[in-house]
């Protein structure tokens, strides 16, 4: 059995809920809820707040009642100058504790992070074996993994660039791109270490010089013999990169490693970029079933939505071709071609190539 106090609270909550619902509805529709009690019922029922007839007095009371704000102890205390001072003091102590506590947690977390063990000849789990190159921002080392004795190459920021956010970002970007790509003619990047003092990444070690080195050494016989192979592999690697949505942007003989067997690895993705999206299919689905479903039932949007350079008439033509109902599509390709002949596809005029002389 509910006691009178509990019952009063329940009724009070219920009336408050109804009151709020009426206010929300009143604001939403900008009309007096009492003017249409039937709609009030519908809204309350939909909100799961009420399952019977709305007592009219609730609606009327809800509109005229001014809830009396109860003074909180804080507001009361605020009025007294001596207590106000205490509020400042206590509030200040709380804020200070939160700040100091937060800072302490951050520092404690930093200390917990395992520190890289670094000596003259070792960085973390790698022994520095040979310095292969020193560039403007980084060094490349041949390293040996202590646990496996396998040889890798390590690209390490020079000490003066370690705290430079741009150089750090370029190094990590290079590592991320290299980790995504997997092709026999592209250097494979394995791990990246975002250490504050010794940021580096580890990649496949390819014992060779760069193509630039071979050109500078005038290895004419080698180049004559391997030129086709070198080009083919470089292009295959780049074609793969493009197909994966990346453009290298720094292809030059220094960034093509080539061993004496004529095998090629493309390196240095520091300034590689994603190829901007140029198009998209009318429907996309997470699974073949979802895609099929969309082809069968979803209304396609005009390509104008994705490419504002597409004309309205071309958008309409595409939508006709994609129509679900057979009778709305062109009857055959001849008819489609006849329609297409007179359609302008892009709003901006095509740039004419210079006529060859
Ligand atoms: N995986 C590797 N295996 C063997 N040698 C490598 C490897 N990666 C790089 N090298 C050597 O290091 C040289 C420089 O590498 P990379 O092009 O990646 O550096 P970089 O970005 O040009 O340097 P920086 O930006 O500091 O000037 C290469 O020309 C090559 O000789
Ligand atoms: Mg380079």
Question: Do 198 and 126 sit in the same domain of this protein?
Answer: yes
Domain end marker among 22, 39, 65: 65
Assigned domain for 51 exists: yes
Question: Do 143 and 199 sit in the same domain of this protein?
Answer: yes
CB of 161 closer than 6 angstroms to any ligand 1 atom: no
The pair phi, psi for residue 112, each rounded to 5°, is -70, -30
Q: Quick one: which ligand is closest to 250's CA? A: 2
Q: Under a CB-based contact definition with an 8 Å cutoff, are residues 322 and 282 in contact?
A: yes
Domain end marker among 229, 248, 274: 274
Question: Do 295 and 270 sit in the same domain of this protein?
Answer: no
Q: Which domain holds residue 59?
A: 2-65
Cα(133) to ligand 1 centroid in Å equals 6
Question: Do 193 and 223 sit in the same domain of this protein?
Answer: no
Cα(267) to ligand 1 centroid in Å equals 7
Residue nearest to atom 24 of ligand 1 (CA): 135
Question: Do 196 and 229 sit in the same domain of this protein?
Answer: no
Question: Do 199 and 131 sit in the same domain of this protein?
Answer: yes
Which pLDDT score is estimated for 56? 45
Q: What is the CATH number of the domain that holds 234?
A: 1.10.510.10
Q: Under a CB-based contact definition with an 8 Å cutoff, are residues 43 and 69 in contact?
A: no
pLDDT tens per residue, range 131-168: 999 999 999 999 999 999 999 999 999 999 999 999 99
Assigned domain for 74 exists: no
Residue nearest to atom 21 of ligand 1 (CA): 268
Assigned domain for 96 exists: no
CA-to-CA dists, residue 159 to 109, 116, 192, 200, angstroms: 25, 15, 17, 11
- Pairing between strand 118-119 and 246-247? unpaired
CB of 310 closer than 6 angstroms to any ligand 1 atom: no
pLDDT tens per residue, range 314-332: 999 999 999 999 999 999 9
- Pairing between strand 256-258 and 151-157? unpaired
Which pLDDT score is estimated for 240? 95
Q: What is the CATH number of the domain that holds 163?
A: 3.30.200.20
Q: Which residues of the chain have pLDDT under 70?
A: 1-70, 113, 351-357
Question: Do 335 and 304 sit in the same domain of this protein?
Answer: yes
d(CA 249, CA 274): 10
Q: Under a CB-based contact definition with an 8 Å cutoff, are residues 201 and 152 in contact?
A: no
Question: Do 239 and 295 sit in the same domain of this protein?
Answer: no
Assigned domain for 105 exists: no
Question: Do 148 and 167 sit in the same domain of this protein?
Answer: yes
CA-to-CA dists, residue 224 to 185, 198, 235, 236, 274, angstroms: 20, 42, 18, 20, 34
Cα(268) to ligand 2 centroid in Å equals 5
Residue nearest to atom 10 of ligand 1 (CA): 140
Q: Which residue has the tokens 């205390």?
A: 77
Q: CA nearest 202: which of 272, 235, 136, 155?
A: 155
Give the H or E element holding residue 140. strand 138-145
Structurally, the chain folds into a number of domains equal to 4
């Amino acid at each position: 059995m509910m006691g009178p106090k509990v019952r009063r609270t329940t009724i009070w909550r219920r009336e408050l809920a109804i009151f709020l619902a009426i206010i929300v509805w009143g604001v939403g529709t900008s009309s007096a809820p009492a003017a249409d009690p039937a709609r009030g019922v519908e809204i309350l029922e939909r909100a799961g707040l009420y399952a019977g007839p709305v007592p009219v007095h609730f609606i009327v009371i809800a509109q005229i009642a001014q809830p009396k704000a109860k003074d909180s102890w804080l507001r009361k205390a605020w009025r007294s100058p001596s207590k106000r001072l205490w509020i400042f003091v206590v509030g200040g102590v709380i804020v200070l504790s939160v700040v100091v506590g937060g800072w302490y947690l951050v520092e404690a977390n930093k200390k917990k992070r395992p520190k890289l063990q670094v000596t003259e000849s070792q960085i973390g789990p790698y022994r520095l074996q040979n310095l292969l190159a020193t560039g403007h921002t980084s060094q490349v080392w041949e390293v040996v993994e202590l646990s496996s004795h396998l040889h890798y190459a390590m690209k390490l920021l020079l000490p003066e660039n370690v705290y430079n956010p741009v150089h750090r970002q370029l190094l990590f970007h290079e590592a991320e791109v290299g980790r995504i790509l997997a092709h026999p003619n592209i250097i494979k990047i394995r791990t990246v270490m975002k250490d504050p003092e010794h940021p580096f990444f580890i990649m496949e070690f390819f014992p060779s010089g760069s193509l630039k080195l071979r050109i500078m050494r005038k290895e004419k016989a080698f180049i004559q013999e391997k030129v086709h192979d070198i080009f083919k592999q470089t292009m295959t690697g780049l074609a793969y990169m493009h197909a994966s949505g990346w453009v290298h942007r720094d292809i030059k003989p220094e960034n093509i490693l080539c061993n004496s067997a004529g095998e090629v690895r493309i390196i240095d993705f520091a300034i590689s970029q994603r190829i901007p999206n140029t198009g998209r299919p009318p429907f996309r689905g997470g699974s073949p079933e979802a895609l099929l479903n969309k082809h069968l039932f979803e209304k396609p949007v005009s390509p104008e939505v994705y490419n504002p350079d597409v004309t309205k008439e071309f958008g309409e033509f595409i939508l006709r071709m994609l129509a679900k109902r057979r009778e709305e599509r062109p009857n055959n390709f001849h008819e489609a071609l006849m329609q297409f002949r007179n359609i302008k596809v892009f709003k901006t005029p095509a740039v004419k190539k210079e006529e060859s002389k």
